[in-house]
Amino acid sequence: MIFIYYYVIFFCKIKNKKGKKGIFLDKLFATERRKLILDILQQKKRITVKELANRVNFSEATLRTDLKILEEEGLLTRTHGGAILNEDLPANSSFSEREKKNRESKIIIAKKAIKLISHKDSILLDASTTALELARLLREKEIRLTVVTNGISTAIELKENPGINVILIGGMARIGSMAIEGLLGASILNKINIDTMFTSASGFTIEDGLTDFNVYEVELKKLMVEKADKVIALLDHTKIGTSSSAAFASCEEIDTIITDKNLPEDFIKELSQYDIEVL
């Protein structure tokens, strides 16, 4: 991939120097152009528009449009003057795989979840991409809220709404991650009354509850679950029935599951024994 990228750049520069019409870089299809942007971000994790323009020979205006579209697809988060790669994109996935990420389901779930948030609530949002979709909806909503989060991207989204007080939990930030990890910010949670926590997970089973692969983030999420009066799990259908390495919430601690597809009746009946509502 890197070889192909530099070959394309070299070829286009030769064409430009000769002043001939041909396969200029700015004539590449938009999807190919955005793939180049993501390839660079996979290596660097964050980049400025100016640096990107120097590397790929596009105008900054074109790149800003590309970054906006890629952000809407959930693939990156724009920052002041640049962009950051989102935390949960597999390093070896192709552009087409990223493009097919289950974003439609996440938006459906977020639209259902926002109906459960009331004026002047105090809520917790984890660092998941599903919670990020909920944050994008909240950013545009006229509402007064306090939002506590360990998601850097989520905090960036929400700070644009003047009616929302955003509290970012302190802790460790790793390369390639947009989640704050560890228990350094535990004292913040002890000082705030939380009405509802909205969280996603890598998997959910009745035996294990909500599970995730990042054991360091799981420790913080356990504490978040403990501090919230109510826990709402945002789970697309691919998460149901799978289990990951570390559990952070048992069925006894979950109040509601919002999902994008109908669950089997026997599964819903089993969940009802734990007083879990399914939306």
Angle, alpha carbons 69-51-87 (nearest 5°):
50
Q: Name the residue range of residue 154's domain.
A: 103-278
Q: 16 and 69, same structural domain?
A: yes
The closest alpha carbon to 271, from 259, 260, 257, 258, belongs to: 257
What's the CA gap between 129 and 56, in Å, rounded? 28
Per-residue pLDDT of the chain (279 residues; tens, 9 = 90+): 444 344 344 444 433 333 433 334 444 467 678 878 887 887 788 889 999 998 888 899 999 988 988 776 667 788 888 888 775 544 444 323 333 357 889 999 999 999 999 999 999 999 988 999 999 999 999 999 999 999 998 999 999 999 999 999 988 876 667 888 888 888 888 889 999 999 999 899 999 999 987 767 888 999 999 999 999 999 998 889 888 778 999 999 999 999 999 999 999 999 999 999 999
Q: 258 and 126, same structural domain?
A: yes
Q: 121 and 237, same structural domain?
A: yes
Q: 54 and 175, same structural domain?
A: no
Note the pLDDT tens digit of each residue in 195-236: 999 999 989 999 999 998 776 788 899 999 999 999 999 999
Q: 134 and 271, same structural domain?
A: yes
Q: 110 and 20, same structural domain?
A: no
Quick one: how far is CA 210 from the chain centroid? 17
What residues pair up with 148 in beta bridges, in sequence order? 124, 167
Q: 184 and 55, same structural domain?
A: no
Residue position matching structure tokens 């306090």? 146
Q: Which of 99, 134, 150 is the last residue of a domain?
A: 99
Quick one: how far is CA 27 from the chain centroid? 31
Copy the structure tokens of residue 181.
């990890």
